[in-house]
Structure 1
Amino acid sequence: MRALFIGGTGTISSAITRQLLKQGVELYLLNRGSRNELLPKDAHILQADINDEYYVALLIESLNFDVVVDFIGFEPAHVERDYRLFRGKTKQFIFISSASAYQKPLSDYRITEGTPLSNPYWQYSRDKIACEEYLMNQYRDHGFPVTIVRPSHTYDERSIPLGVHGSNGSWQVAKRMLENKPVIVHGDGTSLWTMTHNSDFAKGFIGLLGNIHAIGETVHITSDETVTWNQIYEIIADALGVKLNAVHVPSVFLAACSKQDLRGSLLGDKANSVVFDNSKLKRLVPGFAATTRLDQGIKHTVEYILTHPEYQREDPEFDQWCDEVISTMQQGFAKLNS
């Protein structure tokens, strides 16, 4: 198999890249080269900016692929460009969409690929929906061999998966836990959530490559394990060897007072209960099973980050914001109870 990945070094794609190379797949990575230390040695590197369409067309002029995957397409213009570049040059085109595109609020907490797509809270999700619609139109009208994949919250060893964190990632929350400082948990912490280790995601994804039954289909890839946010934060604290000091803050309050887009990532995603039905994936990829239990995956992630200082990026601004939010909540409670 000859495959081309647009991207290839992110949380989702890196695990897929490693597993494919072990299987001897002829893998090309179209990458700007800004993260050369993460590029695998056994892959063929096509160094280019995918947005430089003319140059990319020259690079791939003599190449044809069994599968092309775009991990970094976010807007309709991106997939329109992909269609121009790869029509007639691949037997399968896979677009990485997002499970955040599913209906918010949900009419049924059990999510299948048939759940309506609608997210009034997050432009990111609406753009992914528009990308899907464009590509499926090309499939229906012109036979473009597209497969849509919708990941949910996927994590690896480089970042602790959380509900609320700053622009520098999750380390500052872990640091607050280690310092016994209070940590914000959105809502009352009882909403249901699904997290998937990237090695498990890769197993399901690789089963879709070259799969004739996946052409023209949309499929999400997640773990079958469902946990509450209270459980998630307890698991992280336990992995750090500390006692959790949680402060529950309404998601609408957090979204209203944050400089970040928590309206999208919380109200349009993590504040909602989600339980995924993976029956379709298991029909397409017989034998698929996510085997990394969340507490095991989090433990490995925490151990990795604690021994790799380069992933311990502090975020003083977020730290101060947490203190201010918690103080405001406590003052409000004190005033109401006085």
Structure 2
Amino acid sequence: MGTTALLIGGTGPTGPAIARGLEARGFELTLLHRGTHEVPEVAGYEHLHGDVFSEEGIRAAAGNRSFDVVVSAYGRLRTVAEVFRGRTGHFLSVGGQPVYRGFFDPTRYAPPGLPVPIREAADLATEGEDGKSYRVARTEELLFAAQPEATHLRYPFVYGPRQLAPREWCVVRRIRDRRPFIILPDGGLALTPFGYVDNIAHAVMCAVDRPEAAKGQIFNVADSEALSIRQVVELVSAELEYEWEILSLPAELAVPARPLMMSEVSRHRVADVSKLRNLLGYRDVVPPREAVRRTARWLVENPPEAGGYEEFALQDPFDYRAEDLLADWWRAAIADPPDLGYVETPGYGKSYAGPGTRNVRADTRI
């Protein structure tokens, strides 16, 4: 019998790519999941079905089997780690970047805002702060108590095929509905950690390939290039050959853009993936700009159901009447700005030489 691997999950956005990667490396692969959602990409592997959120369900499905590698990408991680204590040579687990202090609430820092970039050693959420973030941090503690040599991967928001909260659908559906504009907060300049499905799966494989460097370590995972909201919108628009107005509003007024902001304010959340690159040799297998274009095309060919789960998860009502009223009000508000009477119009500083540079009087002082 060859080397064996157990993938817990396997039917979500990154699951099929992880499964293919393990098979390509010669593992005899088994999937453990609830069995309520099957996808054809993983139909050829052995499947175990059980409740992966309970100890009883995991033990009943897996029995006394051991595996050379266990990849826990779904279920109750702290329980999975305990059940497979002493039953695997390499335990790899998936968590999330909300573990960091201030990920959801930037006012945890003074002045508000996360460190940029966020490194693995950054402050974690503590008890009494955001409940979800603290639970993620507590799970990591319990994980390493049960699996001291685990490799833990802090996932970003994931995009690509089969995503159940597809951020790009907020753009693609409006294009399909022939909207003349899209509202973005603060020019759409905010950065948020995202990872394309194939890139995320490749990061997992990098840890599988270099176990001695990966064991006992935590890694941020994300695309190496962080794209702004506006860049995503422009890439989708170009891929679908659609021209429209990008209407910038202050974040507190850009209510229709909340599903794209994924936050109550416009701010940066940037994951530092240098540890993943330096220790495990990670590189994006699909450049993020190409990945966004692929995702847009996939959504055109596989559109979510109107009013279905994906739109429920995004919390985007696509209320075009309200968007039109907001746009009309904003345009009227800025149509006639006051004459501020500058004696001398402010410049960008003498070291700036880009677009908008104004002529200044000669100054012989250097």
* The one of 26, 40, 43 aligned to 1:41: 43
Deviation at 1:146, TM superposition (A): 2.2
Find the counterpart in structure 1 of residue 79 from structure 2.
81
Specify the SS of the correspondent of 1:36: coil
CA contact (8 A) 1:79 1:131 kept: yes
- The letter of the residue matching 1:295 is R
Are 2:255 and 1:247 aligned?
A: no
- In proportion to residue count, which structure has more helix? 1
- The letter of the residue matching 1:278 is V
Deviation at 1:190, TM superposition (A): 1.4
Which of 1 and 2 has greater Rg? 2
CA gap 1:251/1:25 in 2 versus in 1, 3 angstroms: farther
Are 2:275 and 1:280 aligned?
A: yes
Find the counterpart in structure 1 of residue 115 from structure 2.
108
CA gap 1:123/1:14 in 2 versus in 1, 3 angstroms: farther
Find the counterpart in structure 1 of residue 158 from structure 2.
154
Specify the SS of the correspondent of 1:117: coil
CA gap 1:39/1:158 in 2 versus in 1, 3 angstroms: closer
Deviation at 1:113, TM superposition (A): 1.1
CA gap 1:233/1:314 in 2 versus in 1, 3 angstroms: same
Deviation at 1:122, TM superposition (A): 5.8
Identity %: 21
CA gap 1:125/1:240 in 2 versus in 1, 3 angstroms: farther
In the alignment, the residues of structure 2 paired with residue 124 and residue 264 of structure 1 have an alpha-carbon distance, to the nearest angstrom, of 19
What residue ranges of structure 2 are gaps of 5+ in the alignment? Answer: 107-112, 337-366
With structure 2 as the length reference, what TM-score do the two structures score?
0.74
Are 2:305 and 1:313 aligned?
A: yes
In the alignment, the residues of structure 2 paired with residue 319 and residue 145 of structure 1 have an alpha-carbon distance, to the nearest angstrom, of 45
Find the counterpart in structure 2 of residue 167 from structure 1.
none
* The one of 62, 65, 86 aligned to 1:63: 65
Encode CA deviations 1:273-292: one digit per residue, 9 max, x unaligned: 23433221123313x21132
Encode CA deviations 1:16-66: one digit per residue, 9 max, x unaligned: 112222333111111122222345133210011213532431332231012
More displaced 10-residue stretch of structure 1: 224-233 or 241-250: 241-250
CA gap 1:37/1:95 in 2 versus in 1, 3 angstroms: closer
Find the counterpart in structure 1 of residue 199 from structure 2.
200
Q: Which has the higher contact order (CA 8 A, sep 6+)?
A: 1
What residue ranges of structure 1 are gaps of 5+ in the alignment? Answer: 164-169
More displaced 10-residue stretch of structure 1: 235-244 or 45-54: 45-54
Find the counterpart in structure 1 of residue 298 from structure 2.
304
Cα RMSD (Å): 3.3
CA contact (8 A) 2:184 2:254 kept: no
Number of residue pairs aligned between Structure 1 and Structure 2: 316
CA gap 1:72/1:249 in 2 versus in 1, 3 angstroms: farther
Kindly report which structure 2 residues correspond to 1:134-153, keeping only aligned pairs within 5 A, or say none: 134-136=142-144, 138=145, 144-153=148-157
CA contact (8 A) 1:172 1:314 kept: no
In the alignment, the residues of structure 1 paired with residue 283 and residue 88 of structure 2 have an alpha-carbon distance, to the nearest angstrom, of 28
Find the counterpart in structure 1 of residue 140 from structure 2.
132
Kindly report which structure 2 residues correspond to 1:173-212, keeping only aligned pairs within 5 A, or say none: 173-178=171-176, 179-209=178-208, 211-212=211-212
